[in-house]
Amino acid sequence: MKARILLAVLVFVGATAFAPVPFVKEKKKPELKGADAIQGLWLVKSRERAAGGVLKGLPGTQYVRIEGTTWTFMRDDGMGGRQPGVSYEIKLDTTKSPAWLDLDRPNFGAGKAGGKAFGKGFAGGPYMVGLVEVSGDTLRFVYALRGERPAGMKPTALREYLYTMERVKKP
């Protein structure tokens, strides 16, 4: 009887001694959905116009901070900080694919026109109308200034532009 138990233990140990250790899967970060996907600080990598022309901006590094429903352009102050610039109100529709993203400054240009007109050829409504998509740590925002929403994620018409941004990770 003891011999059988000993034999069974030896067979079990021999069979499992060289078995692979189970692989522990690394927990994957949950993918951000909807408005959560665009929240945070973004480094502007490029800004293009139709026909692939790269637009040169002001000197220095440009950022975008998105908090809740506020989009704020920011610049590197040269001393390790970021200076806020113009802010816009975000209107996001994630039921569309790609999502619709509009940036507006409700009190901008109100003057005599009461915010309804912004000079010849400019109708009231959002300042920038566009489409946004986030893939990993890259955000792409294609938009038109006071015009029709772009048809796709590439600027094709006059006054259409594409921002490509990279998420700034917390240290």
Percent of the chain with pLDDT over 90: 46
For the chain, which domains are there?
A: 32-167 (2.40.128.280)
This prediction's pTM: 0.70
Average model confidence (pLDDT) across the chain: 77
Paired strand residues for 40: 66
pLDDT surpasses 60 at 102:
yes
pLDDT surpasses 90 at 129:
yes
Instruction: Average the pLDDT over 63-82 and give the result.
Output: 87
Q: pLDDT digit string (tens) for 8-27?
A: 555 555 555 555 555 555 55
